[in-house]
Amino acid sequence: MRRAQRDDRCLSSRSFSCGARTDRQPGHERQEPPRATTGSGQDVPSGAHPVSSAVEHERGIPGFRLRRLLHAARRALGFVLKLGLIGWAALAIHYSNLPWGWLRTTLAVAFTAFAIWALWFANAKGARAAFAVVFLLVLAWWIAIPPSHDRLWREDVAVMPRAFIEGDRVRITGVRDFDYRSATDFMPRYETREVFLSDLSGVDFYISYWMPGPVGHTFVSFVFDNAPPLSVSIEIRPESHEGYAPIASMFKQFELIYVVGSERDVVGVRTNFRDEDVYLFRIDASREFARELFRVYLERINELADRPEFYHLLSNSCTVNIVRYARSAAGSDARPDIRHYLNGLFDSFLYDIGLIDTTLPFGELRRRSWINEKAQAAQDAPDFSERIRYSLPPG
């Protein structure tokens, strides 16, 4: 009965607050739960995780994207650097002075496997330090490999030239003037040439291609008023069992030689027996520049005769040294150009800077500078140099 009366009172109550306290004290009002916000002060929708929402917001900020890009670039650079160190050391071992090829190959493979394990898969803290130590040992060993004049040289590079300068007179020994029957069958002949600096009138430039493409061999000839031209070709000095290999040439596999010879030899062997395409360009330069360049060459010829050096494709090769010596002779620094290394394009570089004839379109100049047919027709002629220059565009 009492419960029914109570229910009636509840139904008639205007506050519908039966069973609840209606006398709340000030300061004890019902509180709403705080709303989450992001780092920028924006509200997070109900039910969203505030941390994940903040990360999603930051990902839209340009600075965050830049940091991620820089991080990825650092990782990529580190990966490439590691690969470069591993590749260089493996090739240095493979092309080292160890006596047996199978041993060099085995050690190069073993080093590569160890390096990959140490840099990417090892959990040990000292693995990277171990790699650094081994790499430095390989580097020190490679640096210590010395060049030599005492090897069993291939016959066409067996003799080192030497120059003797007495005022205006220059005497050069070891000047090559072979008689060729084929590229590998020849009668060796070396002679001594005497020239005068005051008779030096110009310098000519050659590019020889053994295959189509942007790479060839470059060399120069010094032209005299009262003597035949003298060619100087910067080349590898291979041993009797060796041939040219571009990658090997960067790992102390070949010594360096400056072949000084007659054009009938240095040019003719390429046009007539090695089936190379040879182009001859007259350089537009003063007599003073030609003489200074010749002096630089003579100094380097004697330095090399006194102290052997290694050939290096990128730092001590034909075109790289020609550019270096021309800068020295001119007393100026020319800007670097990719064509110094892609030297089959070096004639276009000379054309662009105006050192060869620019009165003709470059294509026409190049066509007229090809000398193979003239060289083949003048093979053993005493006036070989004059005949290959017949109708050549002037410098």
- Sketch the domain layout of the chain as residue ranges: 81-144, 155-389
**Is 393 in contact with 364 (CB distance < 8 Å)?**
no
**Is 314 in contact with 320 (CB distance < 8 Å)?**
yes
DSSP code of 117?
A: I
- Segment (H or E) for 146: none
- Please give the Cα distance from 172 to 298 (Å, whole number): 9
- Segment (H or E) for 329: helix 318-330
- Please give the Cα distance from 183 to 358 (Å, whole number): 35
Residue partners of 92: CB distance under 8 A and separation at least 6: 138, 139, 142, 251
pLDDT at position 54: 52
- Segment (H or E) for 190: strand 190-196
- Please give the Cα distance from 164 to 342 (Å, whole number): 34
**Is 384 in contact with 263 (CB distance < 8 Å)?**
yes
- Segment (H or E) for 52: helix 50-58
Nearest to 293 by CA among 263, 342, 327, 268: 327
- Please give the Cα distance from 88 to 277 (Å, whole number): 34
Torsion of CA 296, 297, 303, 304, to 10 degrees: 150
pLDDT at position 60: 57
Digitized pLDDT (tens) for each residue of the chain, 395 residues in all: 444 444 444 434 444 344 444 444 444 455 555 554 544 455 545 555 555 555 555 555 677 788 888 888 898 999 999 999 999 999 999 999 898 999 999 999 999 999 999 999 988 889 999 999 999 999 999 999 999 999 999 999 999 999 999 999 999 999 999 999 999 999 999 999 999 999 999 999 999 999 999 999 999 999 999 999 999 999 999 999 999 999 999 999 999 999 999 999 999 999 999 999 999 999 999 999 999 999 999 999 999 999 999 999 999 999 999 999 999 999 887 788 999 999 999 999 999 999 999 999 999 999 999 999 999 999 989 999 999 999 998 87
**Is 184 in contact with 208 (CB distance < 8 Å)?**
no
**Is 71 in contact with 92 (CB distance < 8 Å)?**
no
- Please give the Cα distance from 157 to 297 (Å, whole number): 18
- Please give the Cα distance from 102 to 109 (Å, whole number): 11
DSSP code of 359?
A: S
Residue type, 381: A
Q: Is the dihedral of CA 233, 237, 241, 245 positive or negative?
A: negative
Maximal CA-CA distance, the chain: 146
- Please give the Cα distance from 257 to 303 (Å, whole number): 11
Tokens standing for residue 128: 């990277």
Residue partners of 194: CB distance under 8 A and separation at least 6: 169, 170, 171, 172
pLDDT at position 331: 86
For helices 127-143 and 62-94, angle between their N-to-C axes, nearest 10 degrees: 50
Nearest to 349 by CA among 371, 319, 314: 319
Total Cβ atoms within 10 A of residue 300: 20
- Please give the Cα distance from 110 to 387 (Å, whole number): 57
Tokens standing for residue 34: 């705080």
